[in-house]
Chains A and B, each alone.
Chain A
Amino acid sequence: KAGVTQTPRYLIKTRGQQVTLSCSPISGHRSVSWYQQTPGQGLQFLFEYFSETQRNKGNFPGRFSGRQFSNSRSEMNVSTLELGDSALYLCASSLTPETGRVEQYFGPGTRLTVT
């Protein structure tokens, strides 16, 4: 069974631009969560999607948004990029949000660098 895949793996953008990151969960998994990892703040929860609906959202500005498609694939978008958005963005999948409390499977991440 294929694991969680994230594309692209690396990305370089300029301040003020926007970016879209993609996550394909494990086959059969319908819940997708996104996390931001930075050296200063560590791993922080961004949002969670299930059945194409955002269920939970972390403490991030409105520039961070996401969506989920009917095939459970998810995208996250960051508009008006700032230098502080440079981070590793991790996606995790689980069967449902409830099983996600017990076990989440993480992708390799997308490394975003903002210059």
Chain B
Amino acid sequence: AQSVTQLDSQVPVFEEAPVELRCNYSSSVSVYLFWYVQYPNQGLQLLLKYLSGSTLVKGINGFEAEFNKSQTSFHLRKPSVHISDTAEYFCAVSDLSRGSQGNLIFGKGTKLSVKP
């Protein structure tokens, strides 16, 4: 079965520092990959997605992610974070294999805490 592992449950970082949130997935077939952000008491907002093509994907709010097929990873990065980036971030995959349900499979989330 498809699974997604977010290697860090919490990431504290100082404002204006770079950050990387790690995500690995298990799959031997094609997948679509996503990063979502969830602010307190809100739903999920799509940050970026990888469907095909260039392995470097740029999203909203200055975030980008790199798809690495050989390492089955899709790490999220931002060169300089702001206090407003404090939120929980979820990596997700959509399994494209025959017979899959096609629903999103989420990682457990990474809480990013940006300190002044």
Q: Which residues of B contact A25 (CB under 8 A)?
A: none
A1 at interface (Cβ–Cβ under 8 A)? Answer: no
- 8 A Cβ contacts from A67-110 to B: 90, 92, 97-98, 100-109
- B46 interface residue (CB < 8 Å to A): yes
* Cβ contact within 8 Å between A107 and B101: no
| Extra inter-chain contacts (19) besides given A4-B43, A42-B106, A92-B44, CB under 8 Å | A35-B104, A42-B107, A42-B109, A43-B90, A43-B104, A44-B106, A45-B101, A48-B102, A56-B101, A56-B103, A58-B103, A102-B32, A102-B51, A102-B94, A105-B46, A106-B36, A106-B43, A106-B45, A111-B41
Binary contact readout B34-73 vs A (1 if CB under 8 angstroms, 0 otherwise): 0010000111111001010000000000000000000000
Say yes or no for A24: interface residue by CB 8 A criterion: no
Residues in chain B within 8 A of chain A (CB atoms)? 32, 36, 41-46, 49, 51, 90, 92, 94, 96, 101-109
The bracket for how many chain A residues form the interface is: 20 to 34
Closest Cβ neighbor of B102 among chain A residues: A101
Q: With A42-B106, A106-B43, A106-B44 in contact, is A48–B101 under 8 Å at CB?
A: yes
Instruction: Assess the B43–A108 pair: CB atoms within 8 A.
Output: yes
Tally of contacts, chain A with chain B, CB under 8 A: 58
Contact status B94-A101, CB under 8 Å? yes
Which chain B residues lie closer than 8 Å to A45 at the CB level? 101, 103-105
Which residues of the other chain, B, contact A58 by a CB distance below 8 angstroms?
101, 103
- Distance of A25 from chain B, by nearest CB (Å): 13
Given A90-B43, A106-B43, A108-B42, A43-B103 contact (CB < 8 Å): no
Q: Across the interface, do B43 and A100 meet the contact criterion of CB distance under 8 Å?
A: no
Q: Are B49 and A103 in contact (CB under 8 A)?
A: yes
- For residue A22, CB closer than 8 A to chain B, the reply is no
Question: Which residues of the other chain, B, contact A108 by a CB distance below 8 angstroms?
Answer: 41-43
Pair A100/B107 contact, Cβ less than 8 Å? no
> Which residues of chain B are within 8 angstroms of A56 by Cβ–Cβ distance?
101-103
A103-B43 CB under 8 A given contacts A45-B101, A48-B101, A56-B102:
no
B108 near A42 with CB under 8 A, answer yes
Say how far A23's CB is from chain B's closest CB, in angstroms: 11
